[in-house]
A = this chain, B = another copy of it.
Amino acid sequence: MNYRITLAYDGTDYSGWQFQLGRRTIQAVLSGALEKLDGAPVTAYAAGRTDAGVHAEGQVVSFRLTREMDGATLLRALNGNLPQDIRVLESSQVADDFHARTDAKSKTYLYQLYNSEVMNPLLARYALHYPYDVDLDRLIEDSHSLVGTHDFTAFTVAECETRTRVRSVTGIKIERAGNILTFSFTGDGFLRYQIRTMVEALVEANRGRLKTRSIAELILSRDRSLVGAPAPAKGLTLMKVEY
């Protein structure tokens, strides 16, 4: 039987989604709970292979079980076997050919900055402290350059082994609520570190520290050395996957 679940997790204490020998990862912990349930090893596929420290409110995962269970029973059984920082929000049986990663049509990620001289300790796990002046209009204007289909080589890791570094960013929304600045990124898929490096570039441009004359020029350069390290993982949350 093929199943689909929606997962929320606090990524603070995990080395990301993907299984890694000797590391505590979301995939390893979830697979452990699934194996306990099914009595045999289970491979789980996630829509977004989130990096170490990245959170999720709407990760989608698919896997096969030998047992037949209804969604509500599976949800309760899994939450009973998972730690409190990983929760199954939805669960259902799905068509045999559904695959959480390869069938995903679009993903939305949120990045949060806390924009004040002093950090709010209640947001310290989920937002980057950004104590500098923000020109919101410029941030929004600069973000428009990133929307569209581009070669995002300048925004990923050098050793990134994908066939193509062309991706489509379909929308970026930047909003302020009090001291909290949220960046919402939607696209058909993102390269490793792409979102966090786009945030870094937007922030560098806002502080007048971009090495190129514009974000558009940075994209065209396809040169990873022209922008700083990706913004910290803790500010990033996978919000939604569409199929």
Contact = CB atoms under 8 A, between A and B. Distances in A.
B79 A122 contact: no
Given A87-B118, A87-B119, A118-B75, A10 B124 contact: yes
Interface string A56-88: 010000000000000000010001000011111
A130 to B, nearest CB: 15
Number of copies: 2
A17 interface: no
Contacts of A75: 118
A126 interface: yes
A122 B89 contact: no
Interface in A104-141: 118-122, 124-126
Contacts of A121: 8-10, 84-87
Nearest to A124: B84
A50 interface: no
A120 B57 contact: yes
B10 A88 contact: no
Contacts of A87: 118-121
Interface in A229-243: 237
A10 B12 CA distance: 16
A55 interface: yes
A12 to B, nearest CB: 10
A-B pairs with lowest CB-CB distance, top 10: A10-B121, A85-B121, A87-B118, A87-B121, A89-B118, A8-B121, A10-B122, A9-B121, A87-B119, A84-B124
